[in-house]
Structure 1
Amino acid sequence: MSSVEPENMTQEPTAAESKDDGMTWWYRWLCRLAGILGGFSCAVAGLWSCVTINPLNIAAGVLMMLNAFVLVLCEAPFCCQFVEFANTVSEKADRLKSWQKAAFYCGMALLPIFISFTFTTLFGNAIAFASGVLYGLSALGKKGDAISYAKLQKQQPDEEKLTAT
């Protein structure tokens, strides 16, 4: 026996192999579409927010445009063909778990709102926040059926009956 391992044993699993997270294909596409639309809405609202003399609005607008770039880079790397590391970032983002993406996207969307609470920042980040919520809902998993819930209830003893004896 030799101590040499085959090459395929040392490689990390690809994105297709590690995507057994219970999401259906249409829900995965819905999350991606929400991320892309959220990125574009952040970009437009961020640009609009920068057209002012208030420094907090400008800071929130710049941050919204940065959020838009990150969202589009993670969800649609083909839109960022001029960036050399776009595919690498997208592959790493695909390896993240759903709850990690949810926390990241929701946190990104809330930060400009905390800097400058205006209608532009609120509505510009709404779709990006909704994308994070969709990823968060997928992290919760599927809803259980009534049959398995009834079986679970039959297996557990009733606490009232146990205390009465």
Structure 2
Amino acid sequence: MSAPDEQAAPAPAAEEEDDGITWWYRWLCRLAGVLGGVSCALAGLFNCITVHPLNIAAGVWMMLNAFILILCEAPFCCQFVEFANAVSARADKLRPWQKAAFYCGMAVFPVILSLTLTTLLGNAIAFATGVLYGLSALGKKGDAISYARMQQLRKQTNEEGLTGTVEGQAV
């Protein structure tokens, strides 16, 4: 009986990886992702109503971005897709800087395809989601007191190192 209990204990700890993001910031990123998906979908649909092939390609890409954003950030919106929960679980395992690079890259591509106001505004919130994840990857800002202590310790070790070499050369 002790073997199943030992196997069950590490599972919750593995699920709750503490990446230093507070709960409200995580929800802010998710909300930005859902809003970015909605704006990409609407702007992409509007962008497809044209005769220019690059605008149509950018619009289709934007709608694909919208689907991926909503699939990763709010899988309950995609209950009709069988693999939605698996994709969302895999996306949750990514580090914040990986999500930032992925979301920003997805948002920049349609703008490169067709630089119009619709693609810029439609991808702005999706790009902002990537920026939010990128900022969370930077970590928490330290306080000034601990920074001053670190600087003082560095200065002391540098001075001690310099005085030791000078005394060693003088002797």
* The two structures share one fold, judged by TM-score above 0.5: yes
> Which consecutive unaligned segments of at least 5 residues does structure 2 have?
167-171
Considering only CA atoms, is the larger Rg found in Structure 1 or Structure 2? 2
The TM-score, its normalising length taken from structure 2, stands at: 0.85
With structure 1 as the length reference, what TM-score do the two structures score?
Answer: 0.88
- In structure 2, the CA distance between the partners of 1:69 and 1:12, relative to structure 1 (3 Å rule), is farther
User: Would the alpha carbon gap of residues 108 and 7 (structure 1) be closer, same or farther in structure 2, given more than 3 Å must change?
Assistant: farther
Secondary structure in 1 matching 2:30: helix
What is the distance in 1 between the residues matched to 2:19 and 2:128? 20
Partner of 2:50: 52
Q: 1:39 aligns with which of 34, 37, 40?
A: 37
Rounded to whole Å, the distance in 1 between the matches of 2:13 and 2:130 is 20
- Once the two structures are superposed, the pairs formed by residues 4-153 of structure 1 within 5 Å of their partners are 9=7, 13=11, 17-153=15-151
Structure 1 residues 157 and 143, CA gap change in structure 2 (3 angstroms) = same
Q: Percent identity?
A: 70
Cα deviation code 1:95-149 (max 9, x no counterpart): 1110000000000000000000000000000000000000000000000111110
In the aligned structure 1, how far is the partner of 2:9 from the partner of 2:47?
45
Higher helix share: 2
* 1:79-101 CA distance string (max 9 Å, x none): 00100000010000001110000
* Deviation of the 1:7 alpha carbon: 8.0
Aligned length: 162
From the superposition, tell whether residues 109 and 122 of structure 1 become closer, same or farther in structure 2 (CA, over 3 Å): same
Query: Can you give the 5+ residue segments of structure 1 that lack an aligned partner in the other structure?
Result: none
- In 1: Cα distance, 2:20 partner to 2:98 partner: 15
Which of 100-109 and 152-161 deviates more? 152-161
Q: How far did residue 14 of structure 1 move? A: 5.7
The question of whether the paired residues in 2 share the 8 Å contact of 1:15 and 1:94 is answered with: no
Runs of 4+ residues over 4 Å off in structure 1? 5-16, 158-163
**Aligned twin of 2:169:** none
Relative to structure 1, the CA distance from residue 61 to residue 91 in structure 2 (aligned partners, 3 Å threshold; closer, same or farther) is: same
Shift of 1:160: 8.8
Q: Distance in 1 between matches of 2:113 and 2:7?
A: 48
Give the 3 Å change call, closer, same or farther, for CA 96–13 of structure 1 in structure 2.
farther
Write the distance in 1 (CA, Å) between the matches of 2:86 and 2:98: 18
Pairwise CA RMSD of aligned residues? 2.6
